[in-house]
Amino acid sequence: MRRTSYHHGALRGALLEACLRLIETEGLAAVSLRRVAREAGVSCGAPYHHFADRAALLAALSVEGFRGLAADLAAARDSAATPMAQLTALAEAYVRFARNHPGHFRLMFRPELSQSEKHPDAAEVGDAAFAVLTDTIAACVAAGLLPAERADTLAVAWWALAHGLASLGVDGQLDKRRMQLCTDTATLVDDIMRAFTALLAPR
């Protein structure tokens, strides 16, 4: 049944939810403003009240995803007792976010949405999420647990590892391997990140 009207603020949220449903069920290729409008039960012209085009809609959804990721990472960091434990907790939160929000995760890192000159809001919140990691690594450096001269490289290496694990999780491959290893996902991620951080410690 078609919805004929939304409160102005509610329309934007409804369009974002409809877009996310399409991505999760049919993939990114299914997304168009016309299709999102139909999914939300509004007129074909309704999305243009909030989004200039498809790219603007996807960028807004990316912003929403990065804000959620940043909040999850900050909460995970704050729940861990030591800087090195925080790094492991961040990885677990990263993998968990991807599993719980696969539509957002598949969208957030697309190169056309990370161009700061075209989508400054998306780039800004992406940097804010990454800053949770770099701040945690800085705390490890300050505690003498990681070498200062390698801090920037280690941040990218950590991100690459956590993102790879998250991608494997979204695609179902991490579950396949953890079952072969007779463990659970959180324990597997914890073991991997502990092994990784052990290699980083100054000798």
pLDDT value of residue 203: 58
**Burial grade of 78 (CB within 10 A; 0-12, 13-18, 19 or more):** exposed
Consecutive 10-residue runs of the chain (203 residues): their mean pLDDT? 54 92 90 92 88 90 95 96 92 95 90 74 90 96 91 93 94 89 88 82 61
pLDDT at 2: 47
Looking at residue 111, the DSSP 8-state letter turns out to be G
Identify the pLDDT of residue 1: 39
The answer to whether 12 and 50 are in contact (CB under 8 A) is yes
Distances, alpha carbon 16 to alpha carbons 71, 96, 116, 140, 153, in Å: 19, 21, 21, 38, 35
Q: Say how far apart CA 203 and CA 200 lie, in whole Å.
A: 9
171: tokens are: 């695609």
What pLDDT shows up at residue 6? 54
Backbone φ and ψ of 118, nearest 5°: -95, -35
| The two three-digit tokens of residue 193, written as one number | 């990140």
Q: How many CB atoms lie within 10 A of CB 100?
A: 11
Q: What is the pLDDT of residue 23?
A: 92
**In this predicted structure, what is the pLDDT of residue 201?**
64
Both ends of the chain: CA-CA distance in Å?
66
The contacts of residue 37 (CB under 8 Å, 6+ apart) are: 15, 18, 43, 44, 45, 46, 47
Q: What is the pLDDT of residue 111?
A: 78
Instruction: List, in order of start, the domains of the chain with CATH numbers.
Output: 1-51 (1.10.10), 54-200 (1.10.357.10)
161 to 123, 165, 188, 195: CA distances (angstroms): 21, 6, 13, 12
The span from the CA of 96 to the CA of 89, in Å, is 10
Q: Please report the pLDDT score of residue 22 as a whole number.
A: 92
Closest CA to 145 of 201, 87, 82: 201
This prediction has a pTM of: 0.86
pLDDT of residue 34: 93
